[in-house]
Amino acid sequence: MVRKLDVEAAFLLGKLKEEIFIVLPEGLEEEKGKIGRLNSAIYGLAQAARVFFETVKKFLVDFMNFDVCISDSCIFIKPNIILGLYVDDILIIGENDAVNDFIVVFGDRFACRTDSKVDEFIGCQMTWNKAGNEVVLHQTRMINKLEVNIRHLIEEWKIKDCTTPFLSGTGMEKIKEEELEMGEDLQAIYRSTVGSLLYLTKHSRPDLSNSIRELSKCNKSGTRNHFVCLLRVCKWLFRNKMFGVRLKTGIM
């Protein structure tokens, strides 16, 4: 079973350890000349997300007996259930009874919404088979948005069709500042696009990892040839936007 939880008013739930003072909000005119001290986190506070994470972590570890994953501190594990925490969104995977019991106990402590149909999580789409024991992770929506912004440049620069995202043996090297040819406008587009591609490789497109690693070397300075290489990767990506990572298990 897979379920997604969204904690309501998440950033208001954590207790602060630091002393933080604020100007009193409107409606407290009778307290003019005074300031307020925060006991709990509020939205807009720099440490609000961290305080909420520590609050949930303490509950999961101390009360529900979860173990923290050694390689990723946002993953919590116990027999028959795995939990991923991303800001105020929680993804739970495990045996039916274990997941249902978790939702009941966790819901008594934190008010949250439960989604029984999990087709997207933090920008990564999930396409399930009918049996529910196989899922393909992909980011077609994000790729479509990227295509809207980049397609006209691919046509203007007359990028040819390609069967691979990168030419074999191609490597990117930084150039000296006086040799810059890309220009500030193109460099800004370059950096933004590389950032989007990096997010794709993180979740569903490991096949782009080598290409994006090389492109990232020129985020600060690059030539027009580097920009052509970027557009080539994008054109190949748009032709293969439904590629993804397939996961299958026999216990779901």
pLDDT digits (tens, 9 = 90+) for 77-115: 999 999 999 988 999 999 999 999 999 999 999 999 999
Angle at 134 between CA 128 and CA 139, to 5 degrees: 55
Confidence tier at 116 by pLDDT (50, 70, 90): confident
Instruction: Give backbone dihedrals phi and psi of 202, rounded to 5 degrees, phi first.
Output: -65, -35
Question: What pLDDT is recorded for position 252?
Answer: 43
* pLDDT tens digits, 22-45: 888 777 766 667 888 899 999 989
Alpha helices in 40-139 (DSSP H): 48-58, 96-109
Structural domains for the chain: 2-118 (3.30.70), 140-239 (no CATH)
Q: Is the pLDDT of residue 56 over 60?
A: yes
Q: Is the pLDDT of residue 173 over 70?
A: no
Question: What pLDDT is recorded for position 168?
Answer: 67
User: How far from the centroid of its chain's Cα atoms is residue 220's Cα?
Assistant: 23
* pLDDT tens digits, 134-170: 999 999 999 999 999 999 999 999 999 989 998 766 6
Strand order in the sheet with 67-68: 67-68, 75-78, 81-86, 89-94, 2-7, 112-115
Residue 165, Cβ neighbours under 10 Å: how many?
21
3-state helix, strand, coil in the chain (%, to 5): 40, 20, 40
Question: What pLDDT is recorded for position 225?
Answer: 86
Question: What pLDDT is recorded for position 177?
Answer: 57
Q: Once rounded to an integer, what is the mean pLDDT over residues 213-236?
A: 90
pTM: 0.81
β-bridge pairing 245-248 and 120-121: unpaired
- Give whole-number Cα distances, 172 to 4, 36, 72, 84, 133, in Å: 40, 54, 31, 35, 41
Which DSSP letter does residue 40 get? B
Q: Is the pLDDT of residue 59 over 60?
A: yes
